[in-house]
Amino acid sequence: MGAYLARLGGFVVVREIAFHALVSLLALGIAFSLPTVASYVLYEWWPRVAASSRLLLATELAFAATLLVLFHFARVAWDGVRLMYLTEVAALVHVLDDTPARWRRRPRPPASAREALFLSVTGFHTFASQEAPFHELANRAYEVRAMLLNPFSEGARERIRSLADPAEAQELYVEEIGASIAHLAALARAGRRVRLKLYDQAPFWSIVVAGEQAWVRYCHDGYPMKSQPDYVFALRRDKPTQGLFPPFCMYALRQWDDPALAEYDFASDELVWRDAGGAETRREPFPAPLPPAARRAAYSSATSR
């Protein structure tokens, strides 16, 4: 449990210490008040109960209700301990969904790291937009590696066809991926070490790896990305080979090392393919963004085949 609390930050540790101190004070208060309570029950309350059948029935019902509540809280506490153990083993530190923020403390994504690895669909709502949760991370990281979906690939068309409004989604994907590329190009011109690759397969995971945390979101067919929860996994320093942080981190790294992925050349706006040894095999110009009407026509002709 110590490693779990360490990953949650200093405020949570202080809160846990304060909670245990409060429980200890409550236990001491109950212990010192037991003689007084016992004397009252034996010499004042119980004679009244023995003389009144209605008071006896009410006492029995109240005692039964108290036991029911205590057993319920005991079960809740046991389930909480079991869930804490499961999250400790899985190295799951947060789950973020559409639940209002007032119900839980929303963690802040890391604002800086030496390296940041993004495996995203469009990247716009991940790091390119001003309101994106990892916008500051992308701006401050020394090295940024990003993988985005090629909006003109068959995988993109497969993803878009599963959404409610494919024509609008096609236009939105091209615009958002173009904005993400422009943002990364601006970072590269500012002196950041930035690399971008485009993949052609339909997206399966959206992963952000920064420092010792991995933010994971599943790309469910037919549902927008914002409707899916984020799962945050952290490296277990005491047992670094356990938990789900290593497999998600390795998955993202292996996707990055896949020679089938084309790298975007910010200087020439071209896609460059390289072999396993890093030698360039071919390059092609990346299609420039089309006007909305032309994009809809291109999408209609592609989906009709």
Q: What is the mean pLDDT of the chain?
A: 83
CATH assignment of the domain containing 295: 3.30.870
pLDDT for 200-240, tens place per residue? Answer: 998 999 999 998 999 999 998 888 888 888 999 999 988 88
Domain assignment present for residue 101? The answer is no
Average pLDDT over residues 136-140: 93
Residues 133 and 27 in one domain: no
pLDDT for 241-263, tens place per residue? Answer: 889 999 999 999 999 999 999 99
Among residues 235, 203, 21, 188, the alpha carbon closest in space to that of 126 is found at 203
Decide: 281 and 213 in contact? Cβ < 8 Å: no
Domain assignment present for residue 105? The answer is no
Task: Say yes or no to pLDDT of 295 above 50.
Answer: no
Residues 61 and 170 in one domain: no
pLDDT band at residue 298 using 50, 70 and 90 as cut-offs: very low
Domain assignment present for residue 154? The answer is yes
Domain assignment present for residue 218? The answer is yes
Residues 247 and 119 in one domain: yes
Amino acid at 300: S
C-alpha to C-alpha distance for 278 and 220, rounded to whole angstroms:
33
Position 26 scores a pLDDT of: 83
Residues 20 and 151 in one domain: no
Q: Which residue has the higher pLDDT, 131 or 6?
A: 131
Residues 128 and 225 in one domain: yes
Query: DSSP letter at 276?
Result: T
Residues 144 and 262 in one domain: yes
Domain assignment present for residue 95? The answer is no
pLDDT band at residue 304 using 50, 70 and 90 as cut-offs: very low
Domain end call among 90, 123, 158: 90
Residues 174 and 83 in one domain: no
Q: Where are the beta strands (DSSP E) in the chain?
A: 92-96, 115-119, 143-149, 193-199, 205-210, 213-218, 230-234, 262-265, 270-274, 280-285
pLDDT for 33-89, tens place per residue? Answer: 878 877 877 788 778 877 888 888 888 898 899 889 989 988 888 888 888 888 888
Residues 143 and 288 in one domain: yes
Position 107 scores a pLDDT of: 63
- Full-model pTM: 0.71
Task: Say yes or no to pLDDT of 305 above 70.
Answer: no
Residues 37 and 125 in one domain: no
Domain assignment present for residue 97? The answer is no
pLDDT band at residue 288 using 50, 70 and 90 as cut-offs: low
Domain assignment present for residue 107? The answer is no
Among residues 208, 285, 291, 289, the alpha carbon closest in space to that of 251 is found at 208
CA–CA distances in Å: residue 261 to residues 57, 116, 152, 181: 76, 18, 14, 16
Task: Say yes or no to pLDDT of 180 above 90.
Answer: yes
Structural domain count, the chain: 2
Query: DSSP letter at 126?
Result: I
Domain end call among 90, 125, 153: 90
Return the percentage of the chain with pLDDT > 70, whole number.
86
Among residues 210, 123, 140, 133, the alpha carbon closest in space to that of 175 is found at 123
pLDDT for 264-283, tens place per residue? Answer: 999 898 999 988 888 889 99
Residues 135 and 251 in one domain: yes
Position 300 scores a pLDDT of: 43
Domain end call among 29, 56, 90: 90
Q: Domain range for residue 60?
A: 2-90
Residues 215 and 142 in one domain: yes
Does residue 299 sit in helix, strand or coil? helix
Domain assignment present for residue 222? The answer is yes
Residues 155 and 260 in one domain: yes
- Could you give the angle at the alpha carbon of 193 between the alpha carbons of 266 and 282, nearest 5°? 40
Position 9 scores a pLDDT of: 52
Decide: 146 and 196 in contact? Cβ < 8 Å: yes
C-alpha to C-alpha distance for 125 and 189, rounded to whole angstroms:
22
CA–CA distances in Å: residue 132 to residues 72, 124, 190, 236: 42, 7, 20, 27
DSSP calls for 1-12: -HHHHHHH-HHH
Question: Tokens 């006896």 label which residue?
Answer: 56
